[in-house]
Amino acid sequence: MSRKQLTLVTSIVVTATLAITAGCGSGKGGGSSAGDSKGGAAIGKGMAQLPVEPTQAPTEEPTDDPYDDPSDSPTGGSGLITPDAKMGTCGWGSDGKPYANVKISNSGSSTAYYSLLVGFVDSSDKAVTTGVESDAAVAGGADKTIKVTGLKADSSHTAKKCRLSLATKSDSAD
């Protein structure tokens, strides 16, 4: 069914529902057609005969306890930033884009790949822009400074701080 037909069908269903419910409770007779100027009273009268109370009790008592029980225990730290990454200096490039130097010290013995997300914020901690670097290779046991550049220019220099928001380490380039 095309989108245009679906909209038409939805409109018809809503209109029919409104017409059916317009007669419910109108007048003093609970759906009587006497003195009913809205129409649909016969349908409203039939609906008034439905049971008000549920015919069966609920099968399960509500509970405040969660059903799932986490099987793993939380690890130390936020888990979003590898201990190999440390924030270095920040500044602005000649193009007006802010940058951050992130210092990586690969604690492993083989080459690892780091993905970094840096947020550049103003004095009230509101985000000005972000910068991303993906799959930066660092040799095992080596130190390397990776420059992460903001995605948009900040020529008025409203960014006052840079924060390392995410730093992940993997054994292979993604």
pLDDT tens per residue across span 106-158: 999 999 999 999 999 998 989 999 999 999 999 999 999 999 999 999 888 89
More confident position, 7 or 46: 7
pLDDT range class, residue 6, cuts 50, 70, 90:
very low
In angstroms, the CA 108 to CA 86 distance is 16
Give the model confidence (pLDDT) of 145-163 as tens digits. Answer: 999 999 999 888 898 999 9
Phi, psi of 45, deg, nearest 5:
-65, -40
Q: What is d(CA 36, CA 34) in angstroms, rounded to the nearest whole number?
A: 5
State pTM to two decimals: 0.54
Percent pLDDT > 70 in the chain is: 54
Q: Where are the alpha helices (DSSP H) in the chain?
A: 3-22, 41-48
Using alpha carbons, select from 81, 161, 85, 153 the residue that is nearest to residue 121: 161
Q: Side chain identity at 50, as an amino acid letter?
A: L
Tokens of 3: 């989108």
For the chain, the average pLDDT equals 73
Report the interhelical angle of 3-22 vs 41-48 (nearest 10°): 80
pLDDT of residue 172: 80
As given in the structure block, the two tokens for residue 36 are: 């009913």
Distance of CA 113 to the CA centre of its chain: 27
